[in-house]
Amino acid sequence: MSSFAFLNPFGNEVYAINKSNSTIDIQWTGGPANRSAQNVSLGLVDLGPTKNPNPYGQVVLAITGNITQPSAGVGQCAWGVPLTFAFNQNHYYVIYVENAPAPVTDWAYSQPFTIFLEDTVSPPSAGLGSNSNYILYSGCGSLTDVSVTIDVAQAIIGQSVSGGTTTGFGFQLNAYSPKNEKSAWQQYVMAVFGTEIVGAVDNWPVTGNNIINDFFNLTKTTNNTIPAGYKLKIILQNDNNGNVTGALYVVIDNNGNTLANVTTTLTSISGVNSTDLAPIVAFELNLVGPVNGESAVLSSGAGTILYSASTILTVLNSEPTCTESGYITAETANSFYGELPAAPSNGFIQSFSVKPGVLAPMIKKQGKPRPGLIYPASNV
Model confidence over 128-183: pLDDT tens digits? 999 999 999 999 999 999 999 998 888 999 999 988 788 999 999 999 999 999 99
CB 289 within 8 A of CB 170: yes
What confidence tens digit (pLDDT) does each residue in 282-322 have?
A: 999 999 999 988 999 999 988 889 899 999 999 999 999 99
What confidence tens digit (pLDDT) does each residue in 13-33 have?
A: 455 555 554 555 555 444 444
What does each C-alpha distance from 228 to 40, 130, 168 come to in angstroms? 19, 20, 16
Mean pLDDT along residues 77-84: 49
pLDDT value at residue 295: 92
Predicted confidence band of residue 73 (pLDDT cuts 50, 70, 90) = very low
End-to-end CA distance of the chain: give it in Å, rounded: 52
pLDDT value at residue 23: 54
Question: How big, in percent rounded to 5, are the helix, strand and coil portions of the chain?
Answer: 5, 50, 45
- Does the pLDDT at position 99 exceed 90? no
- CATH 2.60.40.3980 is the classification of domain 2-117: yes
Quote the DSSP letter at residue 341. B
The mean pLDDT value of the chain amounts to 79
- Does the pLDDT at position 107 exceed 70? no
Where exactly are the structural domains of the chain?
2-117, 135-374
What confidence tens digit (pLDDT) does each residue in 313-361 have?
A: 999 999 999 998 878 888 999 999 888 888 898 888 888 888 876 556 7
pLDDT value at residue 1: 21
CB 126 within 8 A of CB 56: no
Contacts of 155 (CB under 8 A, 6+ apart): 225, 226, 227, 228, 300, 301
What confidence tens digit (pLDDT) does each residue in 217-253 have?
A: 999 999 999 998 899 999 999 999 999 999 999 999 9
Contacts of 369 (CB under 8 A, 6+ apart): 293, 327, 328, 329, 330
What residues are paired with 64 via a beta bridge?
Answer: 41
- Does the pLDDT at position 94 exceed 90? no
Predicted confidence band of residue 115 (pLDDT cuts 50, 70, 90) = low
Q: pTM for the whole thing?
A: 0.73
Collapse the DSSP code of 236 into the 3-class scheme (helix H, G, I; strand E, B; otherwise coil) and give the result: strand
pLDDT value at residue 102: 46
Contacts of 177 (CB under 8 A, 6+ apart): 183, 184, 185, 186, 278, 279, 280, 281, 323, 324, 325
pLDDT value at residue 62: 58
